[in-house]
Amino acid sequence: MRKRKLGKSGLEVSALGLGCMGMSFSYGPPKDKQEMISVLRSAVERGVTFFDTAEVYGPFTNEELVGEALAPFRGKVVIATKFGFDLSPNLDPRGMKGPPGLNSRPEHIKQAVEGSLKRLKVDAIDLLYQHRVDLNVSIEDVAGAVKELIQQGKVKHFGLSEAGVKTIRRAHAVQPVAALQSEYSLWTRVPEKEVIPTLEELGIALVPYSPLGKGFLTGKMNENTKFESSDFRSTLPRFTPDALKANQALIELLNSIAERKKATPAQIALAWLLAQKPWIVPIPGTTKLHRLEENIGAEDIELTSDDLREIDTASSRIKVQGARYPEKLEQMTGR
């Protein structure tokens, strides 16, 4: 697989990475550990060198899985992880566990990094993201804490996730930001307005998560698709039956291009992202080997300037229905 550099950081990774969250978290029950280790190692064998996890995935179990699976490939792969949630028991008045709150206090960051280093079985974290911007802690203090960790040799590069342009600039002034991880795909194009021009100006890479629209852009869903209660898509406005039905127009567009290119809708969606900028590195997630191979195949699809124009013109006429997150989670983005 071809390589890409994450902005001006010098960090080189495969053009497509692998998002590991769904192996342990969010998309139904955790998957079989040995099967997931096999998928992760198969990804390395096929040229993937960029793997994405976070302490909150599980929590902790996804980092442990990635650490164990990739232990034989130390020095040959780049592992990104994230801090920023308070994962101590978070009890509401009835004694039930609630969703974790944010915590990016410098002492908490340092504590989180020690845990991640152990679980990932590494001496240094290749790329450390703040998972969500914490309005209770100045971004200068966050960037300063990561800068100290870099000076101590515990972290190599600093990243942000779902941050707004002002936050990106302020953080970058304290400690150069290698990459911003944000949702970006043919059905989530918010970063194009302000974020992507800012990243280009500053020399920061964009790592799109959910580049296949949490599975929607594979073309395998319609209004009859049902999600288990343990699948977080069951809580997302964009995955209600009405929204799934309305958004099929996007799948029809992908299908028409895919037929012409002898490809799948998912491959066209990924090839479109790769064609946007040379410093964009999507991280599609999967738990299945055949899907991994399908995603990797996107790198070989050449979309001409006419193809890209056609996709942009047609997609601009399609209004995507449904917010991508419930309001409380949406408020944590773009800060």
Q: Which residues are identified as catalytic?
A: 57
Give 31's DSSP letter: P
Asked whether the beta carbons of 266 and 292 are under 8 A apart, the reply is: no
Q: Going by C-beta distance under 8 Å and a sequence separation of 6 or more, which residues neighbour residue 167?
A: 133, 139, 160, 335
- Distances in Å between the alpha carbon of 187 and those of 47, 194, 238, 316? 28, 17, 10, 10
What is the spatial distance between Cα 295 and Cα 283, in angstroms, rounded to a whole number? 10
Neighbours of 163 (CB within 10 A): 25
- The strand ranges marked E within 34-169 are 50-52, 78-83, 125-130, 155-161
- Distances in Å between the alpha carbon of 12 and those of 2, 49, 79, 171? 10, 9, 12, 22
Q: Going by C-beta distance under 8 Å and a sequence separation of 6 or more, which residues neighbour residue 114?
A: none
- The strand ranges marked E within 66-201 are 78-83, 125-130, 155-161, 177-183
- Distances in Å between the alpha carbon of 262 and those of 16, 273, 282, 298? 20, 18, 21, 11
What is the spatial distance between Cα 175 and Cα 143, in angstroms, rounded to a whole number? 6
What is the spatial distance between Cα 207 and Cα 279, in angstroms, rounded to a whole number? 9
